[in-house]
Amino acid sequence: MLTKAKEREAASLIAQHWEEGSQLHTLPELLRPASRREGYSIQAHFETMSAQPLFGWKIAATSDGGQRHIGVDGPLAGRLLAERVIAAGDIPSLRGNHMRVAEPEFAFRMAKSLPPQTLPYERAKVLTAVDTLFLGIELPDSRFVDFANVGGPQLIADNACAHQFILGQEAAEDWRACDLSRQHVSIAVADGIRHEGSGGAVLGDPVAALVWLVNELRSLDITLERGHVVTTGTATIPLPIEPGHHITADFGHLGQIQLEIAS
């Protein structure tokens, strides 16, 4: 079991590699989490290192493609750090990003806090706590060279591959009347590759993914706070991107996001 001092040391080592844009093969054995819970304990230190309040949460590996991409068999939760959230219209750089993929995602902003409780949260209660549905694009990354083989606990310690997140427009007002599991989603590079998917790729339904996140935090004795944004995972296979690419994520009648990557 890792001591608090070893958890902080592991988080500091990962943070150093993030700052430098460098990578490591694995955490040293004495700093390596042996369980998901230890991974989350390391991850929690990134929030204390941030100069701004936590923006929200992300869920990694909510689709079969996402799970294959990072070599896990189930979802992982990570923190969305405010300094890594990019406003729609800004032009992010891929400097230091080794994954180089874009992922179209459904993101929910919370109107009410959901604190830990004895029983698991049910879908209806979670939905009543939602304020708004946003459309987003995540540009994930990892500090591990072979991220597909380091395992879930180390990926959780690496903030579940959270890197940059683009918060797009609010979805159409009638989103609550939609079956998001059937909502068609595509993401494409101009004059290049295009990937098709749907909300059903996100744990069967983006709302189901949100419920999973609430209960994952509940198991860790963490409150999902009012105002936090939860981005629920990619609705398509991750799209390879390069500097200078112009990307469009299309969510049908719910809206679109345009994203330009710096040359």
Radius of gyration of the chain (CA): 17
> What pLDDT does residue 67 have?
84
Per-residue pLDDT tens over the stretch 15-37: 999 999 999 999 999 999 999 99
Sign of CA dihedral 108, 112, 117, 120: negative
Stretches where the chain sits below pLDDT 50 are: none
pLDDT on residue 26: 98
Instruction: Give residue 83's domain range.
Output: 4-260
State the Cα–Cα distance between residues 248 and 188, nearest whole angstrom: 5
Domains held by the chain: number? 1
pLDDT tens for 117-168 read: 999 999 999 999 999 999 999 999 999 999 999 999 999 999 999 999 999 9
pLDDT of residue 70: 85
DSSP assignment string, 63-127: SHHHHHHHT-SS-EEEEE-GGGEEETT-----TT-SS-EEEEEEEEEESS-B---SSPPPHHHHH
CATH number at residue 222: 3.90.850.10
pLDDT of 109 reads: 98
pLDDT attached to residue 88 = 83
Pick from 239, 81, 247, 241: nearest CA to 162: 81
CB 218 within 8 A of CB 116: yes
State the alpha helices, DSSP H only, in the chain: 4-20, 36-49, 64-70, 123-128, 152-157, 206-219
CA-based nearest residue to 137, from 207, 239, 53, 62: 239
pTM attached to this predicted model: 0.96
